[in-house]
Structure 1
Amino acid sequence: MQILKTPAQVLKAKRPPEQKVASFAIVIPGLTTAGLYLRIDTYKGEDRARYYLPHPRTGKPVFLGSRERVSVVEAYASMLTAQADALLHGDQRPSVARVTLSQAFDEWMASREQTTTNELYRSFWRNHFAPHCERRLLKDLDAAVVTGVIRAAQEAGCPRTVLPRGVWFFKQLSIYAEVNHSLKGARLPPDFQLSHILGKDAPAPSTRRQVTTDEAGFRALFDLLPDDTEGDAVRFLMLTGTRKMETLAATWDEIEDLKTWTIPGERMKQGEPHTVYLMSMHREILRRSPTYKRRAERDENGKGPLVWPAKNGHGMTANRPNKLLAKLKATGTDDNGEIHRLTPHDLRRSFSTIVRTSEDDGGPGRDADLVDLMTSHNLKADAIRDTYQRQAKIYAAALRRAWGKVSNWWQQLEEDAEEPMRHIQ
């Protein structure tokens, strides 16, 4: 194998006409020994250049460049950068030294699984924080930078509820910088809070909502939802007691034979997988999904289609259910009897409350602890969190019976229902 030691030699490297592939060992003076390789082969009738390193165990080539056709000049320039990145650390690495906060945010978003949540996060970043980053670099991220951006965002009218999210964004970027770019100096203090930035001007924490609707209002809203994908997504959320993003990000590979829906731990608030036992009331809604007939398909990553996609085929944005409930003007009451607009999370709270209603009062009458397991709710104590999976297995039969009882109760409501009571203003 020919060894190439100068850029001129690399530029002159050609594939011999009688060979389909030619490989050359590359030595970049001052940086590498032989072990970096240039490969020239035929792609769509034209020669292309790619660079690679041999796998340390198998010896097979690990390509570092694009698999599309690139020029030899581009390949060599990329090799220089790749080798520099491999030998240098932290903010000395050329590729890291140029990374801005906005670029790092995009990289972080691309590494996450929850695509529908990502769209909401991207809108927060784009509208409220990115304009104030002033091309700041990831390697310069510190408390002073975050303080300046958050204060500027507040002065520009960033909503009170979004400001704490900005602090969380920068904390995640500091972790991302350390894990993926070896930028240990960018790590923000774990206890860094919005109050450290704004002091007395920090917005007071929002009061916790405890809004629910009763059985009649729950049923009325269910009937008044539109007969489309958004309406069915909210119906499915209502009858599974799940959180909004758990429902919107559901894929068909999580649903087994229309009998169980297992939500992976990375999408659960508690970080543990959660199983919903699907009954006839769920299956009826699922069969109306626009991707139901394609549920067996898998993409290149092995993932099934979204159960509730948007019209463009991508994930439904997080604010769609909220806008739908606002359009219907659906309301509930708090503990003081005051009327409030319902949110998707209020429907989850309503489901839990209704399912605990005693049979004497016309409800399913399920035990409160069992309902918490059905909805993965209130699992905050360490002892409960540590034993959740064991409990779920122990109570599997009881959970199936509980879901069956809820389904029977719901179907009985449908049979008994007359003109739905309109708890809509």
Structure 2
Amino acid sequence: MKPINLSNYVLLTVLVLGLLLTGCRNARSEPNAQATIDAAVAATANAQQSVEATIAAAVAATATAQATPPVPTAVPTPVVINQTINLTQTTTVNPTPAAAQDYTTLSEEELVALIEQSVAQAAAATNQYSTETANATADDTVTAEEVQTVEVYVQGAEEAINTAEEAMAAYYELYYDLAVETQAELAELNQTLEELSGSVDEMNETLVEINETLNEGVALAEETIAALEATAQAASTQVAELQQQAQTWQANYQAQMEARVTNALNIQPTQRADTPQAALQDTFAFLQSGQQALADQRLTPDELTTIAQLGANAKAGLAAQNQPQLQQLSGTISTITEQLARGNLSQARGSLDQFNNSLGGIAQVDLGSGPADGPLANPPERPNLSVDPGGRSADGPLANPPSRPTR
């Protein structure tokens, strides 16, 4: 019997254990490739499904938005009328009121020009709404859209007429007395403007009735369409008359105003001061008469004649004095007289105030004779005028001024 070699068994055992351990390490370190691939595929599929779901939701939302008609928004549509008026077809809630015009700062000539411009704008706007009305009723039917278009033009005409009426009312208040030669033409123009305003009011009432009928889904009667056409035609006829009257009045006013200025500047003096003291007294009389006449913001022909006469007398007295400081006052008197005659009352009022200050600044004049301390050390007493500019006869032209339509 051979002896057993334990070293061989040990070596064999070690080799077997080493192989087993190596296999275990390889099994642990080698990744599961198939599992990784399967997980990646699953994740990709899930991501794709998520993307597809997102796209589907977006498509559904888009389809829903397309199926639901959008709520229309008010888009302003400019409407130009003869390149004069720019209207906007939109609805304004509680608009900010425009600043009120201070007509007292305008001369008569400026106010006449404003009236002429306002009348021209009112005529253009009214003609445009008449044209749009004719277009709307040409097929004997009127749609809601056509009514809306006409309403925009009617609103523009109404605003232009209101502006013309306001300017006309200011002229009546400020210059009606002075423009005595053109009062008849002015009254005719005012009457036609009121009639045109009434036609626009009637058109507004008709449009309201038409809107109510259309909203009820009822067809318009032929009589309603005919009334719409007739109102627009009447307004167009009134516009033609209004334009002719405005042109006539403006031309006559210009001629009468120039004649008024010429007469005021060429009044001959009825007296002439012999001394500087008397000349200054006449100058103060002119100054005071102008200030008193403008105290009520108006000027009458009688007041203008009185002022011009006092100015002529003062100039004659000043020119007779051998004092340049006095003689140069004549030019200021002529300037103020012309401003008053042209109806430039605001400027004349400022000139009178400056003239008053300049007279007060004359302290010493070499009189040759007279008091040693000069003529203005004891200035001449300012005379009281016989004309009371603050009052008007109860039955005068402004006691009952022409009425204006209430809006």
**TM-score, normalised relative to structure 2:** 0.29
The structure with more radius of gyration: 2
**TM-score, normalised relative to structure 1:** 0.28
Q: Which has the higher contact order (CA 8 A, sep 6+)?
A: 2
